[in-house]
Amino acid sequence: MPITEPQDLLDRKFDVCFTHGDVDGNGVLEAADALALAARIVTYLGEPMGSPKAQKLFQAFEQFWTNVEAKMDVNNDGKVTPQEWRKGLRKAFAEDPEAYNAGFRPLAEATFTICDRDGDGFLEQSEFAKFHQAFGCKSANSQLAFQKLDSDGDGQLTVDELLIAWQEYYTSNDPDARGNWLYGDVWDNTVVVGSKTR
Ligand SMILES: [Ca+2]
Ligand SMILES: [Ca+2]
Ligand SMILES: [Ca+2]
Ligand SMILES: [Ca+2]
28: domain CATH number is 1.10.238.10
Question: What local confidence, expressed as pLDDT, does residue 91 receive?
Answer: 95
Domain end, chosen from 76, 96, 115, is at: 115
Quick one: what percent of the chain has pLDDT higher than 90?
89
Between the CA of 112 and the centroid of ligand 1 the distance, in Å, is: 23
CA of 134 to the centre of ligand 3 (A): 18
Based on the structure, what is the number of domains in the chain? 2
Which residues span the domain enclosing 47? 23-115
**103 and 139 share a domain?**
no
Per-residue pLDDT reduced to its tens digit, 65-112 = 999 999 999 999 999 999 999 999 999 999 999 999 999 999 999 999
Q: pLDDT value at position 22?
A: 97
Task: Determine, yes or no, domain membership for 16.
Answer: no
Residue 9 lies in a domain: no
Q: Last residue of some domain: 68, 94, 115?
A: 115
pTM of the model: 0.91
Residues 128 and 181 in one domain: yes
Taking the CA of 153 as reference, the closest ligand is 4
SS3 sequence of the chain = CCCCCCCCHHHHHHHHHHHHHCCCCCCCECHHHHHHHHHHHHHHCCCCCCCHHHHHHHHHHHHHHHHHHHHHCCCCCCCECHHHHHHHHHHHHHCCHHHHHHHCHHHHHHHHHHHCCCCCCEEEHHHHHHHHHHHCCCHHHHHHHHHHHCCCCCCEEEHHHHHHHHHHHHHCCCCCCHHHHCCCCCCCCCCEECCEEC
Instruction: Find the ligand nearest to 155 CA.
Output: 4
Ligand 1 centre from 47 Cα, in Å? 24
